[in-house]
Amino acid sequence: MPDFFEDVARKWKSFSGAQRSPRIDEEAVRSTYARWAPIYDVVFGAAFRAGRRAAVETVNQLPPGRILECGVGTGISLPYYDSAHRIVGIDLSPEMLDIARRRVEEAGLSNVEDLAVADAGDLPDPSDAYDAAVAMFVMTVVPDPKAVMSELIRVTRPGGAVVLVSHFPDQKGWRKWIGQKLAPISASIGWHTDFAVERILGRDELRLVERRRVGPLGFFTLLVFERL
Ligand SMILES: C[S@@+](CC[C@H](N)C(=O)[O-])C[C@H]1O[C@@H](n2cnc3c(N)ncnc32)[C@H](O)[C@@H]1O
């Protein structure tokens, strides 16, 4: 009997056009998400919902402020934010942002200040421009995660928050097994399942405030940092 995960991966791969280990660069991200944009919410809406909710709930506990969401995608999380926050969303994919703009208009989300094409690894904003910066399910798909961390830190004011949700590989147990099985499927959205949490911990400019498992079966991790 064919392996379920391999079967799904084959179908997804033929849809997305992705290779098993695509090189992550800006062009690969753009072309991958141009294909996924029309069906992204249907395919990834529910699976990532708990992680998004956890991250935005963290942000909603902060005093009203200016929030940057990096890799905002189709804007699926935008309706969750407290209306007292002003939100700026950026993404590399114009197709994903088109859907986000439609969502903002249809839902009348007047607290969304701007949605713009930008590279999270090279943000156009001045330093200390935001009270919090959020990246959900983004660190594993960006071409240069270290540069993205540096930019999230740079644009967040001291005392502000940097909030991440991501999958980090488990070294043992059933989550490791599932992670390995999902690797080919993850590759179809340019997602690298071997992204180690150590790559974003240990920054001098951040203090880790919270780290907990979220989402289906605790497969994802919420990391909340204070910007020092
Ligand atoms: C897996 S999707 C996550 C979307 C959304 N945050 C969510 O919760 O569903 C990853 C998003 O990151 C965007 N992205 C990838 N690399 C990026 C970069 N360097 N700068 C900005 N956005 C990027 C992709 O275009 C895509 O919309």
For 167-187, write each residue's pLDDT tens digit: 888 777 777 777 777 776 666
Higher pLDDT, 190 or 129: 129
Q: Contact, 195 vs 139, CB < 8 A?
A: yes
Mean pLDDT, to the nearest integer, of 203-207? 96
Domain 4-227 belongs to what topology? Answer: Rossmann fold (3.40.50)
| Domain segments of the chain as ranges | 4-227
Phi, psi of 143, rounded to the nearest 5 degrees:
-60, -35
Q: Ligand 1 centroid vs 140 CA: distance in angstroms?
A: 9
Q: Residues with beta carbon inside 6 Å of ligand 1?
A: 29, 33, 44, 48, 52, 70-73, 76-77, 90-93, 96, 119-121, 136-138, 141-143, 189
Give, using CA atoms, the residue closest to atom 12 of ligand 1: 71
Give, using CA atoms, the residue closest to atom 15 of ligand 1: 142
Higher pLDDT, 94 or 190: 94
Mean pLDDT of the chain: 88
pLDDT at 2 (0 to 100) = 42
Cβ within 8 Å of residue 101, ≥6 positions away: 75, 115
Q: Ligand 1 centroid vs 95 CA: distance in angstroms?
A: 11
Q: Ligand 1 centroid vs 208 CA: distance in angstroms?
A: 23
For 131-181, write each residue's pLDDT tens digit: 999 999 999 888 888 999 999 999 999 999 999 999 888 777 777 777 777
Answer yes or no: is pLDDT of 87 > 60. Answer: yes
Q: Ligand 1 centroid vs 141 CA: distance in angstroms?
A: 7
Which residues face 133 on adjacent strands?
68, 162
Tokens read off for 53:
């909710």
| Rounded CA separation 167/101 (Å) | 27
Mean pLDDT, to the nearest integer, of 23-39? 88
- Confidence class of residue 9 from pLDDT cuts 50, 70 and 90? low
pLDDT at 24 (0 to 100) = 61
Angle at 175 between CA 173 and CA 177, to 5 degrees: 75
First to last CA, the chain: 54
